Structure 1
């Protein structure tokens, strides 16, 4: 991809799943990667090793994107360690299943804080540094097909992703004059730890696969390739859009 070598990428939730796949892809393309994680560090260490094995550079940062101090530390680390930041990948996400009438305030707040509030304020911190340095930049949010497609039992998740869609659209207009592009990537069913229970349930998995025209779940690599394109020079004139990576699921989905 044109324009990735030597650039600096901040990737949230880069210790597993889609975030790890994106970090590895950008690293092998020559980008320097800030590997954000929460919880235990093993996954982030695996990501960093994979980046270094391809000759890239990585820096692990433990930052909880629901906390403003951690957000600012994450952005500042990129500038302190590598002298700048060029790409922000808002990937970290969480979901909580419950019937609407049983959803607790705690679970609602958790989902909204991680999936929407975190990207809002992390993007703000990232953009402030770009603006002050008079630098262009790329922002890619890992959203979901559920920014559009209904998902009964996951109302807070769907709300958070719908909000992320409108945040992207607003910011593409507001930040365009600064040379900053903003886009969403909306994965469908991807084989990651967040889908562990689904993968273990053969009946549910087969029902899902019957709804996917390509007949398989996606992989983190399927998403990472599109993200690499969107932050590259080849996508310099693309902003304000959602790109769906779902094997055709949205066009063929039927509630069971």
Structure 2
């Protein structure tokens, strides 16, 4: 059984590095045309475009701050002009912010996390759904986190934004299902990417992290990318409104593995 995304037009926000990069490569390998969104890493995005094209694929780089409504609108218009529309949106752009308790944190930092993680996903989904509803097909895949379910001390804005994104996706799924459009969430656990290098590169931090993962290993970006291309494919055609966890069992309360 083969996952086939030939002739499908995919936009991956925050696509130039980490999870986004792995998903761009995976979609391209399945035949999709991939638009790689970036905000500040233009060189990385262009290098990824070149890599995909060198491998025989189709890719473009599109710049936009996803928290800016006007910039998001322009980005989708650019994709329209080049490819005539979009079939799959992967809402991947996100940040975790600076660690701080609620009473010590800065309002501006809270707002920045929510603006990118939640509002940015809304703005991109809004544009994508306008196009998908008209064409009567499409998939919006939102990259949330185990922290849509697990609280995270010091990162309340991140956890709140991911939980909010999950419920927003469920509401979008209800609204768009009659039009042949699916909306899903993919929730990674601890994945080895640059965003959390400070943890997995530190022996003590890594040891603590592994105790939270029943499978006793940190996930790789490809672990997430493989599930992403599946969820966006026709093999998952009867799935919508759900969150799929790719977390090595982190959400299964590993501290209870030996009883209560």
Question: Could you say which TM-score interval applies, normalised by the shorter chain?
Answer: over 0.9
**What SS class does the counterpart of residue 110 from structure 1 fall into?**
helix
Q: 1:157-183 deviations in whole A, cap 9, x for unaligned?
A: 000001001001111110001111000
Aligned to 1:228: 229
Aligned to 1:104: 106
Q: 1:144 & 1:207 partners in 2: Cα distance?
A: 19
Cα drift, residue 252 of structure 1: 3.3
Q: 2:168 & 2:109 partners in 1: Cα distance?
A: 22
Aligned to 1:73: 74
Gapped regions of structure 2 (runs ≥ 5): 256-260
Identify which of 122, 125, 131 aligns with 1:123.
125
- Cα RMSD of the aligned pairs, angstroms, is 1.2
Q: 1:253 & 1:5 partners in 2: Cα distance?
A: 40
* TM-score after normalising by structure 2: 0.94
**What SS class does the counterpart of residue 85 from structure 1 fall into?**
coil
Q: 1:2 & 1:205 partners in 2: Cα distance?
A: 34
Q: 1:53-100 deviations in whole A, cap 9, x for unaligned?
A: 321110101110011111112212222111221000000000121112
- Range that drifts further, 115-124 or 38-47: 38-47
Q: 2:203 & 2:36 partners in 1: Cα distance?
A: 33
Q: 1:179-217 deviations in whole A, cap 9, x for unaligned?
A: 110000000000011102112321011111122121111
Aligned to 2:9: 8
Superposition map of 1:9-88 within 5 A: 9-88=10-89
Cα drift, residue 3 of structure 1: 4.0
Q: Is the 8 A contact 1:14 1:47 kept in 2?
A: no
Q: 1:44 & 1:141 partners in 2: Cα distance?
A: 20
* TM-score after normalising by structure 1: 0.95
Q: Is the 8 A contact 1:22 1:224 kept in 2?
A: yes
Q: Is the 8 A contact 1:34 1:60 kept in 2?
A: yes
**What SS class does the counterpart of residue 139 from structure 1 fall into?**
strand
- Range that drifts further, 203-212 or 39-48: 39-48
1:114 equivalent in alignment to 2:116? yes
Q: 1:224 & 1:31 partners in 2: Cα distance?
A: 14
Gapped regions of structure 1 (runs ≥ 5): none
Superposition map of 1:152-231 within 5 A: 152-231=153-232
**What SS class does the counterpart of residue 101 from structure 1 fall into?**
coil
Q: 1:27-73 deviations in whole A, cap 9, x for unaligned?
A: 11110011000113122123212211321110101110011111112
**What SS class does the counterpart of residue 234 from structure 1 fall into?**
helix
- Range that drifts further, 148-157 or 49-58: 49-58
